[in-house]
Structure 1
Amino acid sequence: MTSTQTRAGQVATVIAVVLALVLFVMVLLRLDASPRTHVAYLYADTAAFAPDVSGRLISIRVRDNQGVHAGDLLAEIDPEPYELRVRQATAQVAALEAELALATRQVTSQNSGADAALTNVARARTQLKLANETLQRLQPMVAPGYVTQQKLDESVANQRSAAAALDAAVKQADQARQGVSDTRSIEAQIEGARAALQLARRDLRMTRLIAPFDGVVSGLQIAAGTYAQAGRPLFTLVDSRHWYAIADFRETDLPGIKVGARALVWQLGDTAHALPGHVESLGPGVQAEAGGGPGLPTVERSLKWVVIAQRFPVRVVLDNPPPGLMRIGATVTVVVRSGDAR
């Protein structure tokens, strides 16, 4: 081998090494530009499905791990007690409405009596006025002898009788006016009875347990005949409309992660296919070792004797999750395309 060939081989080796170093640096830069983490899992919102009313379950229409759609009937509670309560509330409303009709007629009659009493008062005032005027005309005519004393005495008696009649009419009118009742109490009772009827009808509707959203039944371990108690969960309903990857990223990666940035998610059981998604939110904090605020997630540090970066949860929404592969808690790897919006 000549010296020229030797030098050419050395130059080629140097170039190859330089290219390898450049490629290595580019890969590192690319990795730094796309934060990734293996500390991630799949997540979906869940609802502890509990009835609003208590009663015996007469049928369960779903099985464990079954997919359901919004509006599907999941289970039924014996409706008979609630049907009877509806009938009872309906009868109570009808009885009070009949009582209100009777009271209204009575009030109308009482008002008519009060009006008649006021008419009597007006008539008595007219009679008293006439008696006073007659007495005033007769008094000057007694001395000249134009009117007898007997006639004057009769006029005085008539004036006193008219005054007494007016006083009696006024008292009777006051009594009639005070005796006029109202229907406000019965009307308030009817409003309460109608509200009770609406509640009874609602409870009857709640005996049919309806799926509020598309999801998957989980944790169903009861059969028909079980006594369901209001507010006590019967099973869990997984909201399959939205799936997320909860990824714990180092705090040094967070400046490169923006809300809306595209992300790729690989499942541990299917590393050949990436699931597209986008960053929905970044966690505002975690529980510190000395204790943090209530409700904050806990992300432990694995090396307590070495200062390492804290991890914070980042929520990634999966754009088109395959239903058959989605399981809460499944391990995934998440890569975020920094600065790459949807």
Structure 2
Amino acid sequence: MNAHDNTGPTPRGRLLMFLSFALAAASIVATVLVTNARPRTHDAYLFAFSAGMAPEVSGRIVELHVTNNIAVRKGQPLLVIDPEPFRLRLSQAQAQVAALQAEIDLTGRQVTSQGSGANAAARQVDRAAAQLTLARSTLARLEPLLPPGYVTTQQVDDAKAKEREAAAQLATAVQQASQAKEAIGDVASLLAQLKAAQAAEALAARDLRLTTVLAPFDGQVVGLNIAVGTFATAGHPLFTLIDSGRWYAVADFRETDLPGIHMDDQATVWLMGYEGQPMRGRVESLGAGVQPQGTSGPGLPSVDRNLNWVIVAQRFPVWIRLEHASGAMLRTGATASVRVDHGR
């Protein structure tokens, strides 16, 4: 063996090693920078809002116009509940309104007649009061003339009798006027009853309209397991309607990624099985909180951590509104991957 053999790296080898380490470090730095600028996660799923389609009236279903997974348009009839009982209730309410209106018309004519009688009685009171005033005035003139003999006792007695008669007539007229005034009918209570009957009529008409359940938005029917003849109970959902007008990708990003995500950032979404058809979207909201590990309570989303024996970054849901989302690949709960392109 030659004692002068050098087993260490040659200068060329050392240079290559240095360049390799430098390239690796640069690659790591570049990867970190790209990751910070374009956060990405595979922990995402597709989401659309939905509504449980529950009738507002109870009854037996006589028509069913939808099946599972069918697309419907806003305002399209979904099902019909037997309308016959509701038509009868509406007819009953309409008859009640008509009866009250007729009674109000009759009472109004009676009130008019009674008012005329009361006015006549009031005029009779005025005449009786005038007669009494005249009788008292006459008596007051005659009484001073009796002692000198200018009038007779008979004349004074006649004047007193007329005064008493006029007072009695006035009292009778006042009593008759009071009775006539009290006899005047009042339609206020009937008008209140009419308003209540009209409200009942409006509710009956509304219930009749609600026997036909309409789609509140464009969507897709899921969870349908009923048939014609099923008794529908008001407020109890019969199936679900997914709102196909708004689709979201809900992506759970680590809290260390959140500083690189901002409202209205553009995002790219890939669905499992459709990786070659990426969809575009924009960040619409960032999760303000999640349910802490080991606690329970309503109102906060629960996001599990992958490891519970080491400290790992918590993940928060980021909602991304998809743009121009359509097609058969859109399914609620579908697995997705998301990349956010901040500043692009």
- TM-score in terms of structure 2 length: 0.93
- Letter paired with 1:90: Q
Alpha-carbon spacing, 1:188–1:166, altered in 2? closer, same or farther (3 Å):
same
Describe how 1:285-324 pairs up with structure 2 within 5 A: 285-291=289-295, 294-324=298-328
Alignment partner for residue 218 of structure 2, among 190, 214, 218?
214
Describe how 1:6-85 pairs up with structure 2 within 5 A: 15=19, 18-19=22-23, 21-85=25-89
Task: State the secondary structure of the residue aligned to 1:323.
Answer: coil
Give the match for residue 3 of structure 2: none
- Letter paired with 2:176: Q
CA offset digits 1:289-331 (Å, max 9, x no partner): 2426521010111211100111111111111213211011111
Whole-angstrom distance in 1 between the partners of 2:304 and 2:106 = 74
Deviation at 1:110, TM superposition (A): 1.6
Q: Which moved more, 1:104-113 or 1:222-231?
A: 104-113
Structure 1 stretches of 4+ moved >4 Å? 6-17
Q: Which moved more, 1:322-331 or 1:286-295?
A: 286-295
- Unmatched 5+ residue regions in structure 2? 1-9
- Letter paired with 2:214: I
Give the match for residue 196 of structure 1: 200
Give the match for residue 112 of structure 2: 108
Whole-angstrom distance in 2 between the partners of 1:64 and 1:282 = 33
- Letter paired with 2:326: P
Deviation at 1:13, TM superposition (A): 7.1
> Identity of paired residues, percent?
52
- TM-score in terms of structure 1 length: 0.93
Deviation at 1:10, TM superposition (A): 7.1
The answer to whether residue 143 in structure 2 is matched with residue 134 in structure 1 is no
Alpha-carbon spacing, 1:294–1:80, altered in 2? closer, same or farther (3 Å):
same
Contact 1:114 1:177 in 2 (8 A): yes
CA offset digits 1:97-146 (Å, max 9, x no partner): 00111111111112111111110110001101111111122222223333
Whole-angstrom distance in 1 between the partners of 2:45 and 2:16 = 47
Give the match for residue 251 of structure 2: 247
CA offset digits 1:213-233 (Å, max 9, x no partner): 000000111111111111111
How many pairs are equivalent? Answer: 335
Alignment partner for residue 331 of structure 1, among 327, 335, 344?
335
Give the match for residue 124 of structure 1: 128
Contact 1:257 1:339 in 2 (8 A): no
Contact 1:256 1:339 in 2 (8 A): no
CA RMSD of aligned residues (A): 1.8
Deviation at 1:26, TM superposition (A): 1.6
Give the match for residue 3 of structure 1: none
Give the match for residue 266 of structure 1: 270
Whole-angstrom distance in 1 between the partners of 2:205 and 2:49 = 31
Deviation at 1:272, TM superposition (A): 2.1
Whole-angstrom distance in 1 between the partners of 2:163 and 2:243 = 93
